[in-house]
């Protein structure tokens, strides 16, 4: 398993984004990913769409999609899928943490923008919610 273009997605590298649609890809899976094709497709779609919404400053929708992707990882219950599911959750949580930090910078300090404060709080609540799941 590996993360395709994960850092380039966060940095907005459009060439990498157009080249690789799936940000989470399985490598070395003993079952060739047959146990998780449906879940992985949903996780990838939610993760990619979340990044698009984040770039458009629609943080509310981005948070919802990351939470949805996170909960979808819990459907991967087979023993061979536990490591991958953990990596997926870590990746999703890291993205949400990065978004939360971005929102904190925009909603606090001298040049704060009050319109992002509510979604900043929501991102923090989502992080707490997800951390309680594990």
Look at 23-32, 90-99, 113-122 and tell me which has the smallest mean pLDDT. Answer: 23-32
pTM reported for the whole predicted model: 0.78
pLDDT of residue 73: 92
pLDDT digits (tens, 9 = 90+) for 52-65: 999 999 999 999 99
Q: With bands split at pLDDT 50, 70 and 90, how would you rate the model's confidence at 100?
A: very high
Rounded Cα distance, 125 and 119, in Å: 10
Q: With bands split at pLDDT 50, 70 and 90, how would you rate the model's confidence at 15?
A: very low
What 3-state class would DSSP assign to 28? coil
pLDDT digits (tens, 9 = 90+) for 36-57: 788 888 999 999 999 999 999 9
Rounded Cα distance, 66 and 39, in Å: 14
Assess whether pLDDT exceeds 60 at residue 14: no
Assess whether pLDDT exceeds 60 at residue 13: no
Q: Give the mean pLDDT of the chain.
A: 81
pLDDT of residue 109: 77
- Nearest residue to 72 (alpha-carbon basis) of 94, 40, 49: 40
Helices and strands (DSSP H and E) totals, the chain: 6, 2
pLDDT of residue 90: 94
DSSP state of 66: H
Element (H, E) at 63: helix 59-73
């Amino acid at each position: 398993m590996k993360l395709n273009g994960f850092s380039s997605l966060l940095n907005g590298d459009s060439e990498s984004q157009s080249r690789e649609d799936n940000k989470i890809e399985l490598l070395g899976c003993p079952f060739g990913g047959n146990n998780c094709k449906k879940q992985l497709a949903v996780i990838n779609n939610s993760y990619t769409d979340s990044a698009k919404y984040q770039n458009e400053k629609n943080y509310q929708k981005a948070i919802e999609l990351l939470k949805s992707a996170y909960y979808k990882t819990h459907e991967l219950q087979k023993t061979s899928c536990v490591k991958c599911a953990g990596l997926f959750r870590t990746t999703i949580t890291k993205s949400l943490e990065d978004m939360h930090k971005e929102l904190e910078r925009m909603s606090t300090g001298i040049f704060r923008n009050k319109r992002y404060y509510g979604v900043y709080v929501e991102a923090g609540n989502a992080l707490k919610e997800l951390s309680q799941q594990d």
